Structure 1
Protein backbone atom coordinates (compact mmCIF):
# COMPACT_ATOMS: atom_id res chain seq x y z
CA UNK A 1 0.00 0.00 0.00
CA UNK A 2 1.43 3.39 -1.05
CA UNK A 3 0.61 5.95 1.62
CA UNK A 4 0.74 9.75 1.51
CA UNK A 5 1.00 11.58 4.83
CA UNK A 6 -0.67 14.98 5.11
CA UNK A 7 0.99 16.48 8.18
CA UNK A 8 4.39 15.29 9.33
CA UNK A 9 4.45 16.18 13.00
CA UNK A 10 4.59 13.73 15.89
CA UNK A 11 1.56 11.79 14.69
CA UNK A 12 2.72 11.74 11.09
CA UNK A 13 6.08 10.31 12.13
CA UNK A 14 4.44 7.67 14.32
CA UNK A 15 2.09 6.67 11.49
CA UNK A 16 5.08 6.39 9.18
CA UNK A 17 6.78 4.03 11.64
CA UNK A 18 3.70 1.82 12.07
CA UNK A 19 2.90 1.76 8.34
CA UNK A 20 6.44 0.71 7.40
CA UNK A 21 6.39 -1.99 10.10
CA UNK A 22 3.22 -3.36 8.50
CA UNK A 23 4.86 -3.52 5.08
CA UNK A 24 3.57 -0.30 3.52
CA UNK A 25 5.45 2.41 1.63
CA UNK A 26 5.35 6.13 2.47
CA UNK A 27 5.52 7.90 -0.89
CA UNK A 28 4.78 11.50 0.18
CA UNK A 29 5.16 13.62 3.31
CA UNK A 30 3.10 16.77 2.79
CA UNK A 31 3.49 19.47 5.39
CA UNK A 32 3.53 23.25 5.79
CA UNK A 33 5.33 24.71 2.80
CA UNK A 34 4.66 21.85 0.37
CA UNK A 35 3.67 23.41 -2.94
CA UNK A 36 3.46 20.49 -5.38
CA UNK A 37 1.60 17.25 -4.70
CA UNK A 38 1.55 14.22 -7.00
CA UNK A 39 -1.65 12.26 -6.39
CA UNK A 40 -1.09 9.70 -9.15
CA UNK A 41 0.84 7.11 -7.11
CA UNK A 42 -1.18 7.32 -3.89
CA UNK A 43 -3.23 4.31 -2.81
CA UNK A 44 -4.46 6.14 0.29
CA UNK A 45 -3.82 9.35 2.22
CA UNK A 46 -3.70 9.83 5.99
CA UNK A 47 -4.30 13.37 7.28
CA UNK A 48 -3.06 14.48 10.69
CA UNK A 49 -2.41 18.10 9.76
CA UNK A 50 -3.75 21.40 11.09
CA UNK A 51 -7.40 22.42 11.50
CA UNK A 52 -6.90 25.17 8.90
CA UNK A 53 -5.49 22.69 6.35
CA UNK A 54 -7.58 19.56 6.91
CA UNK A 55 -10.59 20.31 4.73
CA UNK A 56 -8.40 21.44 1.83
CA UNK A 57 -6.40 18.21 2.08
CA UNK A 58 -9.55 16.10 2.19
CA UNK A 59 -11.08 17.98 -0.74
CA UNK A 60 -7.97 17.52 -2.89
CA UNK A 61 -7.74 13.81 -2.18
CA UNK A 62 -11.41 13.14 -2.91
CA UNK A 63 -11.19 15.19 -6.11
CA UNK A 64 -8.17 13.13 -7.21
CA UNK A 65 -9.89 9.83 -6.32
CA UNK A 66 -7.55 9.08 -3.41
CA UNK A 67 -9.20 7.48 -0.34
CA UNK A 68 -8.45 9.60 2.72
CA UNK A 69 -8.33 8.94 6.44
CA UNK A 70 -8.52 12.11 8.55
CA UNK A 71 -7.75 12.37 12.24
CA UNK A 72 -7.35 16.15 12.38
CA UNK A 73 -9.81 17.81 14.76
CA UNK A 74 -11.09 21.38 14.85
CA UNK A 75 -12.27 21.60 11.22
CA UNK A 76 -15.73 20.02 11.48
CA UNK A 77 -17.67 23.10 10.33
CA UNK A 78 -16.77 21.77 6.86
CA UNK A 79 -17.54 18.11 7.56
CA UNK A 80 -20.90 18.13 5.77
CA UNK A 81 -19.23 19.66 2.71
CA UNK A 82 -16.66 16.86 2.73
CA UNK A 83 -19.43 14.25 2.93
CA UNK A 84 -21.32 15.88 0.04
CA UNK A 85 -18.19 16.04 -2.12
CA UNK A 86 -17.27 12.44 -1.32
CA UNK A 87 -20.72 11.22 -2.35
CA UNK A 88 -20.70 13.34 -5.52
CA UNK A 89 -17.24 12.07 -6.56
CA UNK A 90 -17.90 8.50 -5.38
CA UNK A 91 -14.83 8.78 -3.21
CA UNK A 92 -13.84 7.13 0.05
CA UNK A 93 -13.43 9.01 3.32
CA UNK A 94 -13.16 8.28 7.03
CA UNK A 95 -13.06 10.91 9.75
CA UNK A 96 -12.56 9.93 13.38
CA UNK A 97 -11.84 12.14 16.35
CA UNK A 98 -9.70 9.29 17.68
CA UNK A 99 -8.38 6.22 15.84
CA UNK A 100 -7.33 4.30 18.95
CA UNK A 101 -9.01 0.90 18.91
CA UNK A 102 -9.50 1.14 22.68
CA UNK A 103 -11.08 4.59 22.45
CA UNK A 104 -13.58 3.36 19.86
CA UNK A 105 -14.60 0.57 22.23
CA UNK A 106 -14.82 3.28 24.91
CA UNK A 107 -17.20 5.27 22.67
CA UNK A 108 -19.53 2.26 22.54
CA UNK A 109 -19.37 1.78 26.32
CA UNK A 110 -20.10 5.48 26.83
CA UNK A 111 -23.20 5.43 24.63
CA UNK A 112 -24.47 2.25 26.29
CA UNK A 113 -23.94 3.65 29.78
CA UNK A 114 -25.73 6.89 28.83
CA UNK A 115 -28.69 4.89 27.59
CA UNK A 116 -28.89 2.96 30.87
CA UNK A 117 -28.62 6.16 32.93
CA UNK A 118 -31.02 8.34 30.94
CA UNK A 119 -33.96 8.07 33.38
CA UNK A 120 -31.88 8.46 36.55
CA UNK A 121 -32.15 12.22 36.93
CA UNK A 122 -30.33 12.29 40.28
CA UNK A 123 -27.02 11.64 38.48
CA UNK A 124 -25.16 14.56 36.98
CA UNK A 125 -22.56 14.01 34.29
CA UNK A 126 -18.98 15.22 34.47
CA UNK A 127 -16.75 14.90 31.40
CA UNK A 128 -13.03 15.65 31.59
CA UNK A 129 -10.21 15.43 29.05
CA UNK A 130 -6.48 15.86 29.64
CA UNK A 131 -3.91 16.29 26.85
CA UNK A 132 -0.38 17.51 26.20
CA UNK A 133 0.22 21.24 26.01
CA UNK A 134 0.85 21.13 22.24
CA UNK A 135 -2.78 20.21 21.55
CA UNK A 136 -4.35 23.24 19.86
CA UNK A 137 -8.10 22.59 20.21
CA UNK A 138 -10.21 22.37 23.35
CA UNK A 139 -12.21 20.41 24.12
CA UNK A 140 -10.64 17.49 22.30
CA UNK A 141 -12.45 15.92 19.38
CA UNK A 142 -12.65 12.73 21.43
CA UNK A 143 -14.40 14.57 24.27
CA UNK A 144 -16.89 16.04 21.81
CA UNK A 145 -17.58 12.57 20.40
CA UNK A 146 -18.16 11.29 23.93
CA UNK A 147 -20.53 14.20 24.63
CA UNK A 148 -22.41 13.52 21.39
CA UNK A 149 -22.78 9.87 22.40
CA UNK A 150 -24.36 10.97 25.66
CA UNK A 151 -26.61 13.56 23.97
CA UNK A 152 -27.98 10.92 21.59
CA UNK A 153 -28.95 8.70 24.55
CA UNK A 154 -30.04 11.11 27.28
CA UNK A 155 -32.13 14.17 28.09
CA UNK A 156 -29.18 16.55 27.85
CA UNK A 157 -29.54 19.14 25.07
CA UNK A 158 -25.98 20.31 24.43
CA UNK A 159 -22.42 20.40 25.74
CA UNK A 160 -20.34 23.37 26.84
CA UNK A 161 -16.76 24.04 27.89
CA UNK A 162 -16.10 24.61 31.62
CA UNK A 163 -19.54 26.06 32.53
CA UNK A 164 -23.05 25.33 31.34
CA UNK A 165 -26.78 25.30 31.93
CA UNK A 166 -28.64 22.53 33.74
CA UNK A 167 -29.38 20.65 30.50
CA UNK A 168 -25.78 20.92 29.19
CA UNK A 169 -22.91 18.48 29.62
CA UNK A 170 -19.95 20.41 30.98
CA UNK A 171 -16.57 19.39 29.54
CA UNK A 172 -13.42 20.31 31.47
CA UNK A 173 -10.21 20.49 29.42
CA UNK A 174 -6.76 20.33 31.00
CA UNK A 175 -3.38 20.69 29.28
CA UNK A 176 -0.42 19.00 30.97
CA UNK A 177 3.03 18.27 29.52
CA UNK A 178 3.49 14.87 27.87
CA UNK A 179 -0.04 13.51 28.43
CA UNK A 180 -1.08 11.61 25.26
CA UNK A 181 -4.76 11.66 26.19
CA UNK A 182 -7.04 10.83 29.13
CA UNK A 183 -10.84 10.94 29.01
CA UNK A 184 -13.18 10.51 31.97
CA UNK A 185 -16.96 10.26 32.01
CA UNK A 186 -18.45 10.34 35.50
CA UNK A 187 -22.03 10.14 36.79
CA UNK A 188 -22.32 11.68 40.27
CA UNK A 189 -25.13 11.78 42.80
CA UNK A 190 -25.33 12.22 46.57
CA UNK A 191 -24.87 8.53 47.34
CA UNK A 192 -22.39 7.24 44.77
CA UNK A 193 -20.52 7.77 41.51
CA UNK A 194 -20.05 5.73 38.35
CA UNK A 195 -16.95 6.40 36.25
CA UNK A 196 -15.52 5.11 33.00
CA UNK A 197 -12.06 6.19 31.93
CA UNK A 198 -9.70 5.74 29.01
CA UNK A 199 -6.01 6.51 29.38
CA UNK A 200 -3.64 6.48 26.41
CA UNK A 201 -0.09 5.53 27.35
CA UNK A 202 1.45 6.79 24.08
CA UNK A 203 0.52 7.81 20.53
CA UNK A 204 1.14 4.38 19.05
CA UNK A 205 -2.49 3.30 19.49
CA UNK A 206 -3.75 6.31 17.53
CA UNK A 207 -1.28 5.62 14.71
CA UNK A 208 -2.06 1.90 14.55
CA UNK A 209 -5.80 2.57 14.29
CA UNK A 210 -5.27 5.09 11.48
CA UNK A 211 -3.16 2.62 9.50
CA UNK A 212 -5.72 -0.15 10.05
CA UNK A 213 -8.44 2.21 8.79
CA UNK A 214 -6.31 3.01 5.72
CA UNK A 215 -5.86 -0.69 5.01
CA UNK A 216 -9.61 -1.27 5.39
CA UNK A 217 -10.79 1.54 3.10
CA UNK A 218 -8.87 0.41 0.01
CA UNK A 219 -11.34 -0.56 -2.74
CA UNK A 220 -14.35 0.90 -0.94
CA UNK A 221 -16.62 3.82 -1.85
CA UNK A 222 -18.47 5.99 0.64
CA UNK A 223 -18.21 7.87 3.92
CA UNK A 224 -17.33 5.66 6.87
CA UNK A 225 -16.44 5.75 10.56
CA UNK A 226 -14.35 3.58 12.85
CA UNK A 227 -17.55 1.73 13.76
CA UNK A 228 -17.47 0.39 10.20
CA UNK A 229 -13.77 -0.44 10.34
CA UNK A 230 -14.18 -2.36 13.60
CA UNK A 231 -17.58 -3.84 12.66
CA UNK A 232 -19.23 -2.37 15.75
CA UNK A 233 -22.55 -1.61 14.08
Structure 2
Protein backbone atom coordinates (compact mmCIF):
# COMPACT_ATOMS: atom_id res chain seq x y z
CA UNK A 1 0.00 0.00 0.00
CA UNK A 2 1.57 3.28 -1.13
CA UNK A 3 2.11 5.64 1.76
CA UNK A 4 3.87 8.70 0.39
CA UNK A 5 6.61 10.15 -1.76
CA UNK A 6 9.26 11.66 0.44
CA UNK A 7 12.71 13.14 0.55
CA UNK A 8 15.26 10.49 1.50
CA UNK A 9 16.39 10.49 5.09
CA UNK A 10 19.94 10.50 3.69
CA UNK A 11 19.76 13.40 1.25
CA UNK A 12 22.94 13.42 -0.84
CA UNK A 13 21.90 13.96 -4.48
CA UNK A 14 18.66 12.04 -4.46
CA UNK A 15 15.52 14.10 -4.62
CA UNK A 16 12.84 11.58 -3.74
CA UNK A 17 11.97 8.01 -2.85
CA UNK A 18 8.69 6.11 -2.59
CA UNK A 19 7.66 4.77 0.80
CA UNK A 20 5.01 2.13 1.29
CA UNK A 21 3.78 -0.52 3.69
CA UNK A 22 2.41 -4.02 3.08
CA UNK A 23 -0.30 -4.70 5.70
CA UNK A 24 -1.01 -8.25 4.49
CA UNK A 25 2.66 -9.17 4.67
CA UNK A 26 3.01 -7.78 8.18
CA UNK A 27 -0.14 -9.65 9.25
CA UNK A 28 1.30 -12.90 7.91
CA UNK A 29 4.60 -12.29 9.72
CA UNK A 30 2.70 -11.62 12.95
CA UNK A 31 0.51 -14.73 12.59
CA UNK A 32 3.61 -16.86 12.08
CA UNK A 33 5.37 -15.27 15.06
CA UNK A 34 8.08 -13.64 12.95
CA UNK A 35 9.51 -10.61 14.71
CA UNK A 36 10.12 -7.57 12.55
CA UNK A 37 10.70 -3.92 13.32
CA UNK A 38 11.11 -3.15 9.61
CA UNK A 39 7.57 -2.40 8.47
CA UNK A 40 8.37 0.21 5.80
CA UNK A 41 9.59 -0.52 2.28
CA UNK A 42 11.23 1.89 -0.14
CA UNK A 43 11.55 2.07 -3.92
CA UNK A 44 14.51 4.30 -4.54
CA UNK A 45 17.71 5.10 -6.37
CA UNK A 46 20.45 2.98 -4.80
CA UNK A 47 23.28 5.51 -5.17
CA UNK A 48 23.95 9.09 -6.29
CA UNK A 49 25.18 7.86 -9.66
CA UNK A 50 22.80 9.18 -12.33
CA UNK A 51 22.69 5.70 -13.87
CA UNK A 52 22.13 3.97 -10.55
CA UNK A 53 19.81 0.99 -10.26
CA UNK A 54 16.34 1.53 -8.85
CA UNK A 55 15.56 -1.04 -6.19
CA UNK A 56 13.47 -2.04 -3.20
CA UNK A 57 15.00 -1.78 0.26
CA UNK A 58 13.78 -2.34 3.79
CA UNK A 59 15.21 -2.50 7.28
CA UNK A 60 17.71 -5.19 8.18
CA UNK A 61 15.35 -6.80 10.69
CA UNK A 62 12.80 -7.68 8.01
CA UNK A 63 12.03 -11.38 7.51
CA UNK A 64 12.34 -10.66 3.77
CA UNK A 65 16.06 -11.32 4.18
CA UNK A 66 15.86 -14.82 5.63
CA UNK A 67 12.71 -16.56 4.40
CA UNK A 68 13.68 -19.29 1.98
CA UNK A 69 10.81 -18.53 -0.39
CA UNK A 70 12.20 -15.05 -1.14
CA UNK A 71 15.13 -14.41 -3.52
CA UNK A 72 18.30 -13.07 -1.96
CA UNK A 73 19.12 -9.38 -2.50
CA UNK A 74 21.13 -8.75 -5.64
CA UNK A 75 21.95 -5.05 -5.27
CA UNK A 76 23.59 -2.70 -2.80
CA UNK A 77 21.99 0.38 -1.32
CA UNK A 78 25.22 2.35 -1.00
CA UNK A 79 23.69 4.63 1.60
CA UNK A 80 23.31 1.72 3.97
CA UNK A 81 26.26 -0.62 3.66
CA UNK A 82 28.49 -2.47 1.25
CA UNK A 83 26.75 -5.88 1.07
CA UNK A 84 23.71 -6.77 -1.06
CA UNK A 85 20.67 -5.44 0.81
CA UNK A 86 18.27 -4.46 -1.98
CA UNK A 87 16.32 -6.10 -4.80
CA UNK A 88 16.66 -4.67 -8.28
CA UNK A 89 15.86 -5.71 -11.84
CA UNK A 90 19.10 -6.01 -13.77
CA UNK A 91 20.05 -7.54 -17.06
CA UNK A 92 19.80 -11.28 -16.54
CA UNK A 93 18.57 -10.99 -12.94
CA UNK A 94 15.05 -9.69 -12.32
CA UNK A 95 15.28 -10.14 -8.54
CA UNK A 96 12.74 -7.39 -7.81
CA UNK A 97 10.06 -9.01 -9.97
CA UNK A 98 10.85 -12.38 -8.43
CA UNK A 99 10.58 -10.94 -4.93
CA UNK A 100 7.18 -9.35 -5.62
CA UNK A 101 5.90 -12.58 -7.17
CA UNK A 102 7.23 -14.56 -4.19
CA UNK A 103 5.45 -12.22 -1.76
CA UNK A 104 2.16 -12.69 -3.65
CA UNK A 105 2.61 -16.47 -3.48
CA UNK A 106 3.64 -16.31 0.19
CA UNK A 107 0.47 -14.44 1.11
CA UNK A 108 -1.75 -17.23 -0.20
CA UNK A 109 -2.78 -19.42 2.72
CA UNK A 110 -2.65 -23.17 2.43
CA UNK A 111 -5.54 -25.24 3.75
CA UNK A 112 -3.18 -26.36 6.50
CA UNK A 113 -2.53 -22.70 7.45
CA UNK A 114 -6.28 -22.06 7.64
CA UNK A 115 -6.83 -25.10 9.86
CA UNK A 116 -3.97 -24.14 12.20
CA UNK A 117 -5.28 -20.60 12.56
CA UNK A 118 -8.79 -21.89 13.22
CA UNK A 119 -7.59 -24.35 15.86
CA UNK A 120 -5.67 -21.53 17.54
CA UNK A 121 -8.80 -19.36 17.47
CA UNK A 122 -10.83 -22.22 18.95
CA UNK A 123 -8.38 -22.53 21.83
CA UNK A 124 -8.63 -18.79 22.46
CA UNK A 125 -12.44 -18.90 22.36
CA UNK A 126 -12.64 -21.86 24.74
CA UNK A 127 -10.52 -19.97 27.28
CA UNK A 128 -13.02 -17.10 27.41
CA UNK A 129 -15.97 -16.94 29.74
CA UNK A 130 -19.41 -17.37 28.22
CA UNK A 131 -20.06 -13.68 28.93
CA UNK A 132 -16.96 -12.66 27.01
CA UNK A 133 -17.82 -14.93 24.07
CA UNK A 134 -21.37 -13.57 23.88
CA UNK A 135 -20.03 -10.03 23.95
CA UNK A 136 -17.77 -10.85 21.01
CA UNK A 137 -20.64 -12.55 19.18
CA UNK A 138 -22.74 -9.40 19.34
CA UNK A 139 -19.99 -7.46 17.54
CA UNK A 140 -19.10 -10.24 15.09
CA UNK A 141 -19.97 -10.09 11.39
CA UNK A 142 -22.68 -12.53 10.35
CA UNK A 143 -21.05 -13.40 7.01
CA UNK A 144 -17.65 -15.11 7.21
CA UNK A 145 -14.63 -13.54 5.56
CA UNK A 146 -13.44 -15.22 2.38
CA UNK A 147 -9.73 -15.83 1.84
CA UNK A 148 -7.91 -17.14 -1.19
CA UNK A 149 -5.98 -20.32 -0.46
CA UNK A 150 -3.16 -22.10 -2.23
CA UNK A 151 -3.82 -25.79 -2.55
CA UNK A 152 -2.12 -28.75 -4.17
CA UNK A 153 -3.87 -32.04 -4.79
CA UNK A 154 -2.98 -35.45 -6.15
CA UNK A 155 -4.22 -36.89 -9.43
CA UNK A 156 -5.49 -40.17 -8.03
CA UNK A 157 -5.82 -43.43 -9.92
CA UNK A 158 -9.55 -44.13 -10.50
CA UNK A 159 -8.86 -47.86 -10.86
CA UNK A 160 -7.62 -47.96 -7.27
CA UNK A 161 -10.83 -46.31 -6.02
CA UNK A 162 -13.13 -48.68 -7.92
CA UNK A 163 -11.16 -51.79 -6.93
CA UNK A 164 -11.21 -50.83 -3.24
CA UNK A 165 -14.94 -50.05 -3.30
CA UNK A 166 -15.72 -53.35 -5.01
CA UNK A 167 -13.59 -55.18 -2.45
CA UNK A 168 -15.59 -53.57 0.37
CA UNK A 169 -18.91 -54.78 -1.09
CA UNK A 170 -20.84 -51.90 0.51
CA UNK A 171 -19.41 -52.33 4.01
CA UNK A 172 -16.93 -50.14 5.88
CA UNK A 173 -13.67 -52.06 6.04
CA UNK A 174 -12.96 -50.74 9.55
CA UNK A 175 -16.21 -50.98 11.54
CA UNK A 176 -17.72 -53.55 9.16
CA UNK A 177 -21.08 -51.75 9.15
CA UNK A 178 -23.02 -51.11 5.93
CA UNK A 179 -22.47 -47.78 4.17
CA UNK A 180 -24.70 -45.09 5.76
CA UNK A 181 -26.63 -44.30 2.55
CA UNK A 182 -26.85 -44.79 -1.19
CA UNK A 183 -25.73 -42.19 -3.73
CA UNK A 184 -28.71 -40.62 -5.52
CA UNK A 185 -27.01 -40.63 -8.90
CA UNK A 186 -26.40 -44.38 -9.18
CA UNK A 187 -27.65 -45.97 -5.91
CA UNK A 188 -24.15 -47.23 -5.05
CA UNK A 189 -23.13 -47.50 -1.40
CA UNK A 190 -21.45 -44.34 -0.13
CA UNK A 191 -17.98 -45.14 1.20
CA UNK A 192 -14.82 -43.03 1.10
CA UNK A 193 -11.46 -44.40 -0.04
CA UNK A 194 -8.75 -43.59 2.49
CA UNK A 195 -5.00 -44.05 2.05
CA UNK A 196 -3.55 -45.94 5.03
CA UNK A 197 -0.25 -44.09 4.63
CA UNK A 198 -1.31 -40.66 3.40
CA UNK A 199 -0.14 -39.50 -0.01
CA UNK A 200 1.23 -36.33 1.59
CA UNK A 201 3.48 -38.54 3.74
CA UNK A 202 4.81 -40.49 0.77
CA UNK A 203 2.14 -43.20 0.68
CA UNK A 204 1.42 -45.07 -2.56
CA UNK A 205 -1.78 -44.72 -4.55
CA UNK A 206 -2.36 -48.47 -4.64
CA UNK A 207 -5.10 -50.91 -3.70
CA UNK A 208 -2.84 -52.32 -0.97
CA UNK A 209 -2.47 -48.87 0.63
CA UNK A 210 -6.17 -47.99 0.49
CA UNK A 211 -9.25 -48.87 2.49
CA UNK A 212 -12.97 -48.13 2.06
CA UNK A 213 -14.44 -46.34 5.08
CA UNK A 214 -17.75 -44.92 6.19
CA UNK A 215 -17.61 -41.13 6.83
CA UNK A 216 -17.38 -41.59 10.63
CA UNK A 217 -14.46 -43.99 10.45
CA UNK A 218 -12.76 -41.81 7.85
CA UNK A 219 -12.92 -38.74 10.08
CA UNK A 220 -11.71 -40.81 13.01
CA UNK A 221 -8.64 -41.84 11.01
CA UNK A 222 -7.78 -38.19 10.47
CA UNK A 223 -8.82 -36.66 13.77
CA UNK A 224 -9.24 -39.48 16.29
Report the TM-score when normalising by structure 2: 0.25
Higher relative contact order at CA 8 Å, sep ≥6: structure 1 or structure 2? 1
Select the structure that is richer in strand: 1
Report the TM-score when normalising by structure 1: 0.24
